[in-house]
Chains A and B, each alone.
Chain A
């Protein structure tokens, strides 16, 4: 049982810890598989050995400079998106909310594309700031709609999708006008193909900062999950907490889009999966999501590399192909309610 305010009992904490351990193990296994597998496959033992004893051989360079940053990027992006998904679902009290369905990813993409065209010399690191602007703009709009209280869950989701479609059309407009569609079609689909340590360093601070704050304030976010009047009566400054959550969502989702393009379904589905496994305690959900998101994204990336070997399928397409049916399954589960 969860107490009011969302704090967990000791029993729940115990089983959550066990779950977290299992998920971490699965994540480690998937990362190892990802590092071993590739166009020049390595035996797992050798890959493991190289991780601990880099020896300057071409294999070692492959592991340390190509596959490991890719695994790291998948982990960080997965964590960002999952935690952003948890926060946005809590903040809007809407189980269909996610950075993707609320158009936040699309807003970030649009401003990134505009910046890349307007300032061709923009480095990869520089795209983070346009991403934040785009994510914040859309986030603000959706926040306003959500807070008005007049839209039910589904209407809000449809509104978000409509916004996402308009923004996607604008992205297409810019690409068509500049004959640049061919160049970034991979990024648009959501891809970690071009993973580098430099990109990892770009997103890392945001993951640590955003994730850290989310963990610290996790208990407080639980209040947002209750209705507004209860929150006020509990003496919380709900608006301040809400604002913090919104900022975190923008930072986490925006930085993810900046390094890997708009990847969907992680932010939508991971909170559902985690809540199904571990209950509704906010802190637990955030922690477990931060592990499950990377797990799913790394697995999806591995699948994308295996499926059309030796060609690579962008991870955003894999998450969509699996995520859309999964979304339908979630709706199925919810229909009884």
Chain B
């Protein structure tokens, strides 16, 4: 006879129940004080409790925090608060801590943060000093693709002690994307290219860039397949050789080569130009910001512009 054949006596059931509760209670009690070891690009960092005062040193981190309803106390906004407003679609209360290139460490320290989120490429050199101020996690934002940004959201949520919330936000986002992608006609074989227009050349974003990998996630084909995220200094000849079918040009205000190339005969031989599939988009949204909301916005814009579907 196995133990399952014998019905539980009431006493045994009571014992089991209390044992179960006893096992669960420490879990509930510990949840507030447990130390989490967060793995990030420069190693691991131990965080205890739930950080309340977060300093974010890149735009994508601000978006990730927003996804779990956290407002950072400090952001490196390059002294352009309007960008943060554009990023989140609303005004938030935060302190500027300088530029993403050189965050002002004094201001960061003065905010007495309990978590700092930094970018691998730009802030590795000051990791030591940041760690002296507060527990710091370093993630790949500037050169990160869609997958990296998505996993960063969970990592950040975990650092905040809200891993479940992060995973929920991610799942919700993926549902939204799936819904948008469903509106794309099947069998889309056209090649999509995002290029950032500079005063004298264009930077072509490949399949490893953030936008390129969003295209891939949407089932669209990026025009350049490469492990280098961005190809810089591209001239017309290179663009003609790439010959995208759908061409998105990201610009800031100001004169760029795009205005000059529009009247060039070779440019007009590009498949996208001949098909009328050239669209000018905001550089902030398509290149700088990077995040879950940004990915959704990219998907919506593609739908609106390329497929004229809501």
Q: Establish whether A and B are touching in the complex (CB under 8 Å).
A: yes
Min Cβ gap B103→A in Å is 13
Q: Mark A126-140, 1 if CB is under 8 A from B, else 0.
A: 000000000000000
Asked whether A120 lies within 8 Å of B200 as measured between CB atoms, the reply is no
Chain B minimum-CB-distance residue to A193: B235
Whether A65 lies near B264 (C-beta < 8 A) is yes
Q: With an 8 A cutoff between CB atoms, is B240 at the interface?
A: yes
CA distance A185 to B232 in the complex (A): 10
Q: With A39-B237, A179-B99 as known contacts, state yes or no: A64 contacts B265, CB within 8 Å.
A: yes
Given contacts A58-B266, A66-B237, contact A179 B255 (CB under 8 A): no
**Which of A39, A122, A176, A186 is close to B255, meaning CB atoms less than 8 Å apart?**
A122
What is the CA–CA distance of A28 and B235 in the complex, to the nearest angstrom?
A: 23
Answer whether residue A184 sits at the interface, using C-beta atoms and an 8 A cutoff: yes
- Interface residues in A167-202 by Cβ distance below 8 A to B read 176, 179, 183-187, 191, 193-196, 198
* Distance A235 CA – B252 CA, assembled complex (angstroms): 58
Complexed CA–CA distance, A226 and B66 (Å): 74
Closest to B78 in A: A179
Residue in chain A with minimal CB distance to B101: A179
Q: Is the CB of B235 within 8 A of A194?
A: yes
Interface residues of B in 237-287 (CB under 8 A from A): 237-238, 240-241, 252-255, 257, 260-261, 264-269
CA distance A179 to B98 in the complex (A): 12
Return chain A residues, CB-CB under 8 Å to B236. Answer: 65-66
**B-chain residues with CB within 8 Å of residue A198 when the two chains form the complex:** 260
B148 within 8 A of A: no
Question: Chain A residue with minimal CB distance to B270?
Answer: A58
Q: Pick the contact of A183 from B198, B241, B253 — CB < 8 Å? A: B198
| B201 touches A (CB below 8 Å) | yes
B51 in the interface (beta carbon within 8 A): no
Q: Within the complex, what minimum Cβ distance (angstroms) separates A111 from chain B?
A: 15
Report the Cα distance A61→B268, complex, angstroms: 9
Cβ of B199 under 8 Å from chain A: yes
Interface size bracket, B side: 20 to 34
* Contact partner, A121, options B232, B255, B257, B264, Cβ 8 Å: B255
Interface flags, A245-266, vs B, CB<8A=1, else 0: 0000000000000000100000
A61 with B269, Cβ < 8 A, contacts A66-B264, A179-B99, A198-B260 known? yes
The distance from the CB of A198 to the nearest CB of chain B, in whole angstroms, is 6
Check if B233 is an interface residue, CB within 8 A of chain A: yes
A273 on the B face (CB < 8 A): no
CA distance A310 to B204 in the complex (A): 14
Contact A62 B240 (CB under 8 A): yes
Contact with B along A311-327 (1 / 0, CB 8 A): 11010000000000000
List, in ascending order, chain A residues with CB within 8 A of B266's CB: 58, 61-62, 64-66
> Are B201's CB and A193's CB within 8 A?
yes
Using A58-B266, A61-B266 as known contacts, say yes or no to A186 and B233 having CB atoms under 8 A apart. yes
User: With A187-B199, A198-B260 as given contacts, are A312 and B269 in contact (CB-CB < 8 Å)?
Assistant: no
CB-CB nearest in chain A for B257: A194
Shortest Cβ distance from residue B170 to the other chain A in the assembled complex, whole angstroms: 30
Does A120 lie within 8 Å of B254, measured CB to CB? yes
B199 touches A184 (CB 8 A): yes
- A124 touches B (CB below 8 Å): yes
CB atoms of B235 and A312 under 8 A apart: yes
Q: Is the CB of A191 within 8 A of B200?
A: yes
Whether the Cβ atoms of B198 and A184 lie closer than 8 Å is: yes
Partner of B233, one of A61, A123, A261, A312: A312
Q: Which residues of B contact A314 (CB under 8 A)?
A: 233
Query: With A61-B268, A183-B198 in contact, do A121 and B233 touch (Cβ < 8 Å)?
Result: no
A123 to chain B: which residues have CB within 8 Å?
255
Query: What residues of chain B lie closer than 8 Å to A179, measured between beta carbons?
Result: 78, 99-101
A62 touches B232 (CB 8 A): no
What CA separation (Å) do A67 and B264 show in the bound complex? 12
CA A236 to CA B232, docked complex, whole Å: 53
Q: Chain B residues in contact with chain A, CB under 8 A? A: 78, 99-101, 198-201, 232-233, 235-238, 240-241, 252-255, 257, 260-261, 264-269
Q: List 27 A-B contacts (CB under 8 A).
A: A38-B237, A39-B240, A58-B240, A58-B269, A61-B268, A62-B240, A66-B236, A66-B240, A66-B264, A116-B199, A120-B253, A120-B254, A121-B253, A122-B255, A124-B255, A176-B101, A183-B198, A183-B199, A184-B199, A184-B200, A185-B232, A186-B198, A186-B201, A191-B200, A191-B201, A193-B233, A194-B260
| New A-B pairs, 10, CB < 8 Å, besides A123-B255, A186-B233 | A39-B237, A58-B240, A65-B265, A66-B264, A122-B255, A186-B200, A191-B201, A194-B200, A195-B235, A310-B238
